Amino acid sequence: MGAELALVTDALVRATPLMIAGLAVALAFRGGVFNIGAEGQLLVGAAAATTVSLAGHAFFGRGVVVIALAAAAVAGGCWAAIAAELRRRFRVLEIISTIMLNFIAIYLVSFLVRGPLQEPTHIYPQTESLPAAARLPILVPGSRLHLGFALGVAAAVLLSWVFRKTAIGFRIRATGASPLAAFTAGRIDVSRTSFLVFLFSGALAGIAGGIEVTGVTFALYENLSPGYGYTAIAVALIAGLNPLGIIASGIFFGALETGASALQREFAVPSSIASVVEAALIIGVLTLTAIRNRRVPGRAS
C-alpha cells in the first residue's frame, strides 16, 4: 500500500470520532442544549464498550461489537442524563455541569485502568487488548480504516434526514430556535424535547468512544481521547450544525490533526498547532456570522 493511501486512511480514521462527536454536538446545539460534555460522554462510552467487549466476547462471539456499541450509547446517554436532569430540575447551566462531568469522567477512566479493569500483569495503566472477535471490521485491507467511519457517515445522513423530514426533527429545531415560540405556537413540550436531545447527544458521543475503542485503540487507557469532544465543537460549528457538512468538516479536522502529528514528527512543530487553528476557525466563523446577521435589514425593528 502506498504512503499516500495511508495518509488518507489515517486522516479518515482520525476523522471518525470527530465526526460522530460532532454530530452529537450539532444535535444538542440545534435543540438549544449547550452540551460541551462530548469529551466525558465519549470517555464513559469507551469505558463501557471496553468492559462489555472484554466480559462478553467469549459468550457472544462476533456479535459482541454490536452489544459493546449499544453499551457505549447507554453509558454516554446516562452521563449526559446527569447534566440533563440538573438542567431540567435545578436549572443548572449545562455548560458548567458538562465540563465538570468531563473532568470526573477523566478520573473515572483513570480509576478503572489502574483498578478493576487493569490488565492482568498490573504493570501498565490500561486494560487488556480486545480479542480480534470484538474489533470492528477493516474497510480497506492493509489500512487502519475501520467500519466505524462508514457508521459515522450513515449517522450523519440519518441525522440530516431526521432534521429535515421528520416531526421530531422539526420539534428539535423549533425548541432550539425559540423555546417560547415552540411552546406557545407549536404546543411542543420544550422541556421534554431538550431533555431527550441531551440524552441522544450523549448517546452519540458515547458511540464515538465505543467506536474508537473497538476500531482503533482496542484497549482503554488514560488520554484515550486527545480532546475529541472539544474538537467536535469546532467540527459542528464550522459545518453550521449541518449533519452532512459535518462529514466534510470532520474529515478536514481529521486531516488537520494527522497533518499536525506528522509536522511534529518531521519538523518538531508542536502538534498543539492543530487546536490553535481549530479554535481560531471557530472564532473566525462566529465573528463573520455575527457580522453578516447584523447586515440583515429589519432585524432591529
Instruction: Return d(Cα 41, Cα 201) in angstroms, integer.
Output: 9
Of the pair 145, 241, the CB lying nearest other proteins is at 241
Q: Please, what is the Cα angle at 95 between 154 and 203, to 5 degrees?
A: 30
Range 5-34, binding other proteins (CB under 8 A): 34
Range 257-286, binding other proteins (CB under 8 A): 264, 268, 270, 272-276, 278-280, 282-283, 286
Q: How far is the CB of 33 from other proteins (least distance, A)?
A: 12
- Phi and psi, residue 150, nearest 5°: -65, -40
Instruction: Return d(Cα 205, Cα 76) in angstroms, integer.
Output: 6
Instruction: Return d(Cα 83, Cα 200) in angstroms, integer.
Output: 13
The alpha carbon dihedral of 231, 50, 211, 129 has a sign of positive
Q: How far is the CB of 11 from other proteins (least distance, A)?
A: 20
Contact map string, positions 192 to 221, toward other proteins, x by CB under 8 A:
------------------------------
Q: How far is the CB of 142 from other proteins (least distance, A)?
A: 32
Assess 86 for contact with other proteins (CB under 8 A): yes
Please work out the total of residues on this chain that contact other proteins, with binding judged by CB under 8 A: 50
Instruction: Return d(Cα 224, Cα 206) in angstroms, integer.
Output: 13
Are 211 and 100 in contact by the 8 Å Cβ rule? The answer is no
Assess 58 for contact with other proteins (CB under 8 A): no
Q: Residue 174: CB partners within 8 Å, gap ≥ 6?
A: 181, 182, 186, 188
Applying CB under 8 A, the residues found at the interface with other proteins are 34, 36, 82, 86, 89-93, 95-97, 99-104, 107-108, 110-111, 114-115, 178, 230, 233-234, 237, 264, 268, 270, 272-276, 278-280, 282-283, 286-287, 289-291, 294, 299-300
